[in-house]
């Protein structure tokens, strides 16, 4: 793990010193994503994996933490993940959550207006 971090630091410094000032934003994004992938590989060698969280999937307490509730027009999207704010992490062996994913949770307008609970979540899930 230490060797991986040393390599990553050296790569970052080397790349930073060679980047042209006119580099396109998309290229910066690709470069940062490649470093995130390198860190992900280092984490996996240490027994930690990125916790998969898909847009549109139902909220899963314990594996996800609500950062914000957002209005959605479609009742089918109520109680689902609309955006991943921060990845979560899980132990490869055993599946214990090390850090839950922070997400934005969809709340259908019709559910809010009726004062009822959404079909996929309860207040306890959102707050907890």
By residue range, what is the domain housing residue 14?
A: 2-45
68 and 101 together in one domain: yes
34 and 78 together in one domain: no
Counted domains in the chain? 2
98 and 67 together in one domain: yes
Is the per-residue pLDDT at 15 higher than 80? no
86 and 41 together in one domain: no
What CATH code is carried by the domain that includes residue 98? 2.30.22.10
77 and 120 together in one domain: yes
pTM: 0.71
CB 120 within 8 A of CB 58: yes
In 3D space, the residue among 70, 63, 61 whose CA is nearest the CA of residue 86 turns out to be 63
36 and 86 together in one domain: no
14 and 36 together in one domain: yes
Is the per-residue pLDDT at 80 higher than 70? yes
pLDDT of 26 reads 80
Confidence band for 6, pLDDT divided at 50, 70 and 90: confident
User: Residue 93 contacts by C-beta under 8 Å, 6 or more apart in sequence?
Assistant: 47
Mean pLDDT, range 58-75, rounded to an integer: 96
117 and 77 together in one domain: yes
Is the per-residue pLDDT at 126 higher than 70? no
12 and 57 together in one domain: no
Phi and psi angles of residue 108, each rounded to the nearest 5 degrees, phi first: -70, 140
> Would you list the DSSP string of the chain?
-HHHHHHHHHHHHHHHHH--TT--HHHHHHHHHHHHHHHHHHHHHTTEEEE---TTPBP-BTTEEEEEEEEES-GGGTTBEEEEEE-EEEETTT--EEEPEEEEEEEEHHHHHHT---SS--HHHHH-
Count, residues in the chain: 128
65 and 41 together in one domain: no
77 and 21 together in one domain: no
67 and 80 together in one domain: yes
Is the per-residue pLDDT at 84 higher than 80? yes
- d(C-alpha 31, C-alpha 59), whole Å: 31
């Amino acid at each position: 793990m230490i060797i991986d971090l040393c390599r990553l630091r050296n790569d970052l410094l080397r790349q930073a010193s060679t980047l042209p000032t006119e580099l396109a934003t998309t290229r910066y994004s690709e470069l940062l994503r490649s470093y995130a992938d390198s860190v992900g590989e280092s984490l996996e060698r240490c027994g930690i994996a990125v916790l998969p969280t898909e847009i549109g999937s139902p909220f899963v307490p314990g594996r996800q933490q609500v950062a914000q509730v957002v209005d959605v027009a479609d009742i089918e999207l109520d109680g689902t993940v609309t955006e991943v704010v921060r990845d979560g992490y899980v132990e490869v062996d055993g599946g214990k959550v090390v850090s839950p994913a922070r997400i934005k949770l969809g709340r259908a307008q019709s559910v809010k207006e009726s004062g009822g609970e959404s079909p996929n979540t309860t207040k306890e899930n959102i707050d907890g």
